Homo-oligomer: A and B are copies of this chain.
Amino acid sequence: MKRQTKISNAVIKRLPRYRRYLRELQKKGIDKISSNEFSNLTGYTASQIRQDLNNFGGFGQQGYGYSVDGLYNEISVILGLDKEYKMVIVGAGNLGQAIANHTYYYKTGFIVCGIFEINPKLIGMKINDIEVMDYDSIVEFVEDNDIDIGIICTTKDAAQEVADKLCFAGVGGLWNFAPVDIETPHHVAVENMHISDSLHSLAYHMNKSQNQEEKK
């Protein structure tokens, strides 16, 4: 497969979405789809879809469309979802618990192996059969169990220190839910999930809608 070297982050962000829709088509027993049909489904233009997929060598055949299974599998490989990832969660509050319980992750190769906490009241409890352990033991656990991803569900103030410790212990990626941008060495990937940013975008779009309504 021919791949271009520079693929924009915007394209990468759309691939999980394409993949979700392809999964729905698979469930309905649909085995091929044109870029126009896929455009109607996903809300992206057909030309955008073709352009995005051409980044990875393109998968469609002229006059035939895309094979749903083929495209689903290729996107999965591109995203690295054909592999298994071992994860730890830091912070066993509601958010850490919500993520531990989100059974979706277990089905797709993302396995929560341990949850870590500094609050002694939470240490020892079990969330979805996963034990909440003392944060003091995290480096040893990550090293011994070859953990790939650290999920940060701590307060804003603790997040960078937790990130540093996880990087030191050898994780390859951090999924950060604390409301602060964390920094990592260049070889450690980060996704910052700023849920409040999303709420602020919503507020903008609500006001925009209202302004447009008023003008009518």
CB within 8 Å of B: which residues of A? 9-10, 12-13, 15-17, 19-20, 43, 78-81, 83, 85, 93-95, 97-99, 101-102, 104-105, 108, 110, 148-149, 172-175, 179, 181, 186-191, 193-210, 213
- B98 A197 Cβ-Cβ under 8 A: no
Q: Which B residues are CB-close (under 8 A) to A175?
A: 198-199, 202
Chain B residues near A203 (CB-CB < 8 A): 79-81, 83, 85, 173
Residue in B closest to A17 when the chains form the complex, CB atoms: B197
Nearest CB in chain B: distance from A27 CB, A:
12
Knowing A110-B199, A172-B206, A204-B79, say if A213 contacts B187 (CB, 8 Å). Answer: yes
CB distance from A134 to the nearest CB of B (A): 22
Contact across chains for A204 and B94 when beta carbons are under 8 A apart = no
18 contacts between A and B (CB under 8 A): A13-B197, A15-B204, A16-B201, A20-B179, A43-B181, A94-B95, A97-B98, A98-B98, A102-B195, A105-B199, A173-B202, A173-B206, A186-B209, A187-B209, A189-B209, A190-B202, A191-B198, A193-B198
Closest to A196 in B: B104
- Once A94-B101, A98-B98, A105-B196 are accepted as A-B contacts, the answer to whether A173 and B205 lie under 8 Å apart by CB is yes
Q: Give CA–CA (A13, B10) in the complex, Å.
A: 12
